Chain A
Amino acid sequence: MTSRAAIEDLLRELYAARLRGDLDGMLNTFTDDAKFEIAGATDTSPVTISAAGRADIRAWLALLIKTFHVAQQEILSLTIDDDRAAVHWRGGVRSRITGVSMLTEFIDVVSVRDGRIATYTEFFIPRHGA
């Protein structure tokens, strides 16, 4: 079992890599067979991403990193229970395509195996213009 401190370090490594736009840094926090989901809603419609395995996750992370720049990232809470964790965070998310910036809140629910993220589910909701 991965220790509580190691899980916290792993998650902080993930968020730091996201802020840097570091694709390999993010990918290194996942197991080879990880499952990755994002679910949320914009003003107009639901948004869903589902990926399994590093290659699939890499493609989505590359798209997300390239398109959405995250700034002013703030981790509001981080709860760890055995090999599971939940992280509440927010940040300004700006699309390089439309130029629209939105302050967005996220809840990430992860499970960890052998020191890496085995499942990752992110829920998000835009709060208002950043």
Chain B
Amino acid sequence: MTVRTDVLAEFQKVAQEQGKKLAPLSDGLVLLESGLDSLCFAIIVARLEDRLGVDPFNASAQADFPVTLGDFIRFYENAAAR
């Protein structure tokens, strides 16, 4: 499994569990148009922290936020590479 496949798997799993209709996943998909709400993202981030051991949103002075799914995956790839 790569970071990308882990992220995509969690998006699909949480959407199914929460009864959300997930938009087709692509790097250009805007997160706020993905069909997931903020609670779904919170669950995804918590599970990815358990699975990957990283939380790229933990920085107290975080200035950047992911806009698209591609951004979101890159946040994790960069955090996992550190």
Contact = CB atoms under 8 A, between A and B. Distances in A.
Interface string B20-52: 100000000001100101110111011000000
A47 interface: yes
A63 B42 contact: yes
A44 B41 CA distance: 14
A42 B42 contact: no
Contacts of B32: 98, 100
Interface residues of A, number: 16
A97 B57 contact: yes
Contact of A98 (B35, B41, B46): B41
Contacts of B39: 47, 49
Interface string A52-94: 0000000000011011100000000000000000000000000
Contacts of B57: 96-97
Interface of B: 20, 31-32, 35, 37-39, 41-43, 45-46, 57, 62, 65-66
11 contacts: A45-B35, A47-B39, A63-B42, A63-B46, A66-B46, A67-B41, A96-B57, A97-B42, A97-B65, A98-B32, A98-B66
Interface of A: 42, 44-45, 47, 49, 63-64, 66-68, 95-100
